Amino acid sequence: MEQKIYEKINQLNSKLSEPEIWLTINEVMSLVAMTKSTIYRYIKDGKFPDKIKLNPDDPNSGSRWEWKEIEAFMKARSSHRSRNGDQA
């Protein structure tokens, strides 16, 4: 029982040590090689990670994307291309 507690603590500590990285739309566009309109169309279609408002109570606040979600999107896209024999 004690061992399980220590394992859980270690898992939590490892997650805490991984900083969250937030990207702007320009950074996302550069990483995924897509235009802003394509990204927003993909979001609407459920094919792309949605943005996070920095201040949900302020409609004019900036938005960011979490790096881990963008990275997962890029890996899935790359994997899909590899399976289909497409060129990246």
Percent of the chain with pLDDT over 70: 72
Full-model pTM: 0.69
The whole-angstrom separation of Cα 20 and Cα 32 is 19
* 21 close to 70: Cβ distance less than 8 angstroms: no
With respect to residue 8, please indicate whether it lies within any of the assigned structural domains: no
Q: Looking at the domain assignment, is residue 5 inside a domain?
A: no
Contact predicate 84/76, CB 8 Å:
no
Which CATH number is 50's domain given? 1.10.1660.10
Most confident of 49-53, 58-62, 84-88: 49-53
Between CA 77 and CA 23 the distance in angstroms is 19
Q: Is residue 57 part of a domain?
A: yes
Is the residue at 33 inside a domain? Answer: yes
Averaged pLDDT, 38-65? 94
| Total domain count, the chain | 1
Give the integer Cα–Cα distance in Å for 26 and 35: 9
- Which runs of E-coded beta strand occur in 1-88? 22-23, 52-53, 63-66
